[in-house]
Structure 1
Amino acid sequence: MIERIDIGTRMSRIVKHNGVAYLCGQVGEGATVAEQTRDCLARVEALLEKAGSSPSQILQAIIWLADMDDFAEMNAVWDGWVPEGAAPARACGEARLARDVLRVEIIITAAY
């Protein structure tokens, strides 16, 4: 069975299937990459909770940065957020994001 949560015209914010929750890409508010990353991860946590999951159950994270020069700043926030011993498989790359003010977008797949 597939369960869709917060369904919109274009996408669902969460799709659950066979014990796996797929979150739509999350972006954050703020002037810096660190601020946007913190806000983005808070949004991820809220969606994980809604899906019946948590940061310690993340299987994979895909992170897009508008500029790879921001990699260290984003990682400083990420490293403090990921539960010790529960680091997921992760990829990070540079991409043009949906709006010019966005610096980071995070896509999460987690068990629930």
Structure 2
Amino acid sequence: MTIIRLDPQDRWSEAVIHNNVIYYTSVPSNLVNDAYEQTKSALAEIDKILARANSDKTRILDATLFLVNKSDFAAMNKAWDEWVAHGDAPVRCTVHTGLMKNEYLVEIKIVAAVTV
């Protein structure tokens, strides 16, 4: 089985595709101090990587959202609800956690099917 690594670095790859499944962790490129905006930014990054992999948000199987502040849950959900493919929503969980970069309020990890 072939493993495809998108933009591999020494420490990590941007995404990995194996067995027609893409694995990706999105961080926001817009680091304003607002969970709604950061979530929208991270979701836009997901759209970009899925397009590169011949997939889209309707093919997301699993999503894990990492949230720094519990008080940002509603703002994160607002951005998610505006973006998610209604009727094709993945299984999802949200984890309250600290992140390695202080500016990050949210990270999103997804697993999605790709079209061959």
Q: TM-score, normalised by structure 2?
A: 0.92
Residue equivalent to 1:62: 64
The answer to whether the Cα contact below 8 Å between 1:62 and 1:108 also exists between their aligned partners in 2 is: yes
Q: 2 CA distance for matches of 1:15 and 1:101?
A: 25
Q: Alpha-carbon deviations, 1:65-107, whole Å to 9, x = none?
A: 0012211110001011001101101110111111112100000
Read off the aligned partner of 2:69 and give its amino acid letter: D
What number of residue pairs does the alignment pair up?
111
Matched letter for residue 103 of structure 1 = L
In structure 2, distance between residues paired with 1:100 and 1:17: 32
Q: CA RMSD in A?
A: 0.8
Deviations 1:28-73 (A, max 9, x none): 1222001101111001100111111100100000100001221111
Distance, in Å, in 2 between the alignment partners of 1:17 and 1:9 is 19
Tell whether the 8 Å contact from 1:68 to 1:93 is kept in structure 2 after alignment. Answer: no
Percent identity between the two aligned chains: 39
| Aligned structure 1 segments of 4 or more residues deviating by more than 2 angstroms | none
**Alignment partner of 1:78: what SS?**
helix
- Structure 2: tracts of 5 or more residues without a match: none
TM-score normalised per structure 1: 0.95
